[in-house]
Structure 1
Amino acid sequence: MALSTTTVTSASHTATLVYASHTNSAGQPEVSRVYQYYSYKPTVAGAAVFAVLFGLAFISLIVQLVLSCKNRTRAEHQLEIPGFDKENPFQSANGQLADPQPMVFAPATPCTNTRLVTKFFPLLIGVLTECGGYIARIVSNSDLYALGPYVAQTVMLLVAAAFMAATIYMNFGRLLVLMNATSVSFVPIRFSTTIFVTGDVISILLQAVGGSILGASDNHKLGSNIIIAGLVVQVLVFGLFVITEIRFLLLADKVSPLTPRISRQWRILNLNLFWCSILILVRSIVRLVEFIQGYSGYIIKHEWFIYVFDAVPMFLVAVFFIITFPKGNLFKVEFECTSMLRKSNEASA
């Protein structure tokens, strides 16, 4: 395919049109206009670095999930061994033994390891999608007029955050149930996770459809508007979710009967979810402004925005999950809370 350029000058601006010469299926020469989808040439170095980082993060998360499953299973087996000399998992925050008196609360039905792992599937998909998005940007570097890599990186980098958000929603919903703190939710707990995840799915679909339409030369405006709608849904739903998280942080000690009886691992988990939520929320707001500004806007014309306000925050989300896993994760909180239920039942028997 041979490219040629033509400069068109009007009273208000000057534009450079690019045309591609090629041979059609009938063997006849054709000339068609092509579009340069970037206002810059995507950097290979930056895209390669983040493709590798997200790939390593994916592997690390898999390892953490496997270890968490094994650790929980081992801990549960140890509780069944009479006279086993082990650290008491029912210590309060000050190191004293928890009150042996029976508690009055609505116990949560224990989740199997398999069900807990499924709550992390969206996070894994999101991290892998980020990796794929930056690989697509590497491909775009060699052909700025290729539609496929441009659409691929646009869709992948847009929807990855929504996938990660789904894991945050599901972890938080389970945490509220385990801690018997469902009263902090603005909507009934049996609907809250469904509402948040449904909003997330709608956001993913809108952004994916908009990103696909964006590649059609005659539908740039329509594609951008659909993406904007998806990002608005994501920001609104996430904003409500962050408010709920803050409410839980402030009221947990008052509404949950378990906080003085178990370790602080639940707090580490919730702080991780909170800061990951803030990162995704900031990223989504910047992307929303980007598409509202359009192709003539400042953000979309400067590549550093995609790395500072998308790549870095999304990678930090993965890193926060990885580094907090040993200190406080859903598997550990599940074990503590369900074991406390067993202890309470034994005390009341």
Structure 2
Amino acid sequence: MAPSHCPAKDDPHSEWPRFCPAVGPAYLYTVLFGLTFLTHFVQAITYRKGYCWVITMGAIWQTAAYIFRVLSIQHITNETFYILWFVLILLAPLWTNAFVYMVLGRMVYNYTSTAKILGVKAWRCTLIFVLLDILAFILQLTGAVMASGDDLTNAQIMRGLHIYMGGVGIQQFFILCFLFLAFRFQQRMKRDTPMASMHQPLALLYTIYAVLFLITVRIIFRLIEYAKGYETGIPTHEAYQYVFDSTAMLIALALLNVVHPGRIMPGKEADFPSRKQRKAAGKEHLWGRAGEQGGEGGMTYESSTSGQVQEVAEIKV
């Protein structure tokens, strides 16, 4: 039961929007997100995958968000702590989203014969979706900052929230487009990859689907939450925040700990060829690692300029 007197709710100078936040759950989620961060940190080093620092960054942003939530609850009039909590919790999932885009691109490279999906090379497809995720990030950051300042009118807050919601909406649109590509990749993988080798890549692909579902749940929650600004009542009931945002993102991070792409696609040969290697080989001589001309130890390709067989071995983000 909430205490009869709550400084966060009763103090006219409080940064919190008319409710009494509990510090206990904030401590708990700080620890839980901290554990996922440490696990991702160790896994990124263990598997030596440069792109895995993206999910590590997502985990540390989630952890930092709850550190600042705790500090904001303890220092209710501190605007900086509240803004940092508010902005970080809204933006952290975009790192997880970007990581999923990177993982699927590498799966296309490793488990198809052409390294293409709908005629687009895996590394180019990854780049496109990461850039789209950055666009959504910029929009959401702009809106979150505009809505979290001090002494704002309701019109100013709503303008910031509408910009944030626009960024969230296009993020979901990009996810739907990406899911279409993922389904097409799944069909292609079943044709190009031997059944005996399908168990692990399918587990990773289903994990990607689960993570995108959790991100979608969170997006729908945020759109409903801020549809009418703070007047919906949802922002003043923190249980919704914990269930539909933080728990969803915690499960997503934990799933990627358990089914880690670095374990399923190990070694340098599983990484994208460098731009220099792609240029040297030419478009017609680059194959996916499931191609008939790829060696068992890793994909190979024939250089269009020298005719020599070279091994792809460079980590690219």
Normalised to the residue count of structure 2, the TM-score between the two structures is: 0.75
Q: Deviations over 1:127-155 (max 9, x none)?
A: 10001111111122124343212211111
1:53, 1:295 → 2: CA distance? Answer: 28
Match of 1:309 among 244, 251, 269: 244
In structure 1, distance between residues paired with 2:289 and 2:116: 17
Query: Which residues of 2 match residues 76-225 of structure 1 at below 5 A?
Result: 117-180=49-112, 182-185=115-118, 189-216=122-149, 217-218=152-153, 219-225=156-162
Equivalent of residue 42 in structure 2, options 63, 72, 83? 63
Cα separation, 1, equivalents of 2:142 and 2:119: 31
Q: Write the letter of the residue equivalent to 2:109.
A: V
177-186 or 305-314, larger mean C-alpha shift: 177-186
* 2:277 is aligned with 1:341: no
What CA RMSD, in Å, does the superposition of the two structures yield over aligned residues? 3.1
Q: Larger Rg: 1 or 2? A: 1
Q: CA deviation at 1:211?
A: 1.5
Offset from partner CA, 1:287-317 (integer Å, 9 cap, x none): 1221223110132121111110111111111
2-structure distance, mates of 1:222, 1:231 = 14
1:119 shift after superposition: 1.4
Question: Following TM superposition, by how much is the alpha carbon of 1:54 offset from its aligned partner in structure 2, in angstroms?
Answer: 1.0
> Which residue does the alignment assign to 1:241?
178
1-side partners of 2:220 and 2:199: how far apart?
Answer: 32
CA contact (8 A) 2:15 2:82 kept: no
Quote how far apart the aligned CAs of 1:205 are: 1.4
Work out whether residues 172 and 216 of structure 2, in 8 Å CA contact, stay in contact via their aligned partners in 1.
yes
Distance across 2 between alignment mates of 1:301 and 1:243: 36
- Deviations 1:199-220, CA, capped at 9 Å, x for gaps: 1111111222222111231321
Evaluate the alpha carbon distance shift between residue 253 and residue 63 of structure 1 in structure 2; reply closer, same or farther with a 3 A threshold: same
User: Which is bigger in relative contact order (C-alpha 8 A, separation at least 6)?
Assistant: 1
1:270 to 190, 205, 216: 205
The count of residues paired between Structure 1 and Structure 2 equals 269
Cα distance, 1:60 vs structure 2: 1.0
How far residue 65 of structure 1 moved from its aligned partner, in angstroms, is 2.7
Verify the 8 A CA contact 2:47 2:263 in the aligned structure 1: no
* 8 Å contact from structure 1 (residues 39, 300) kept in 2: no
Q: From the superposition, tell whether residues 18 and 322 of structure 1 become closer, same or farther in structure 2 (CA, over 3 Å).
A: closer
Output the CA distance in 1 between the equivalents of 2:23 and 2:200. 40
Moved more, 160-169 or 221-230: 221-230
- Secondary structure of 1:268's counterpart equals helix
Give me the whole-angstrom Cα distance separating, in 1, the residues matched to 2:47 and 2:290. Answer: 16
Moved more, 224-233 or 334-343: 334-343
1:300 alignment partner, SS class: helix
Q: Is 1:40 the counterpart of 2:19 in the alignment?
A: yes
Residues 328 and 250 of structure 1, relative CA distance in 2, 3 Å threshold: farther
Determine what percentage of the aligned residue pairs are the same residue: 23
Greater shift, 60-69 or 274-283, is seen at 60-69
Tell me the TM-score normalised to structure 1 length. Answer: 0.69
Residues in 1 aligned to 2:11 and 2:40: alpha-carbon distance in whole angstroms: 45
Deviations 1:72-113 (A, max 9, x none): xxxxxxxxxxxxxxxxxxxxxxxxxxxxxxxxxxxxxxxxxx
- C-alpha distance in structure 2 between counterparts of 1:35 and 1:44, whole Å: 15
Query: Relative to structure 2, which stretch is displaced further, 242-251 or 50-59?
Result: 242-251
Change (3 A) 1:263 1:250: closer
Structure 1 residues without counterparts, runs of 5 or longer: 1-15, 20-33, 70-116
Contact 1:42–1:303 (CA under 8 A) maintained in structure 2: yes
Name the amino acid aligned to 1:63: V
User: Which residue of the partner structure matches residue 324 of structure 1?
Assistant: 259
The runs of 5 or more residues in structure 2 that have no matched partner are: 1-8, 272-287, 301-308, 310-317
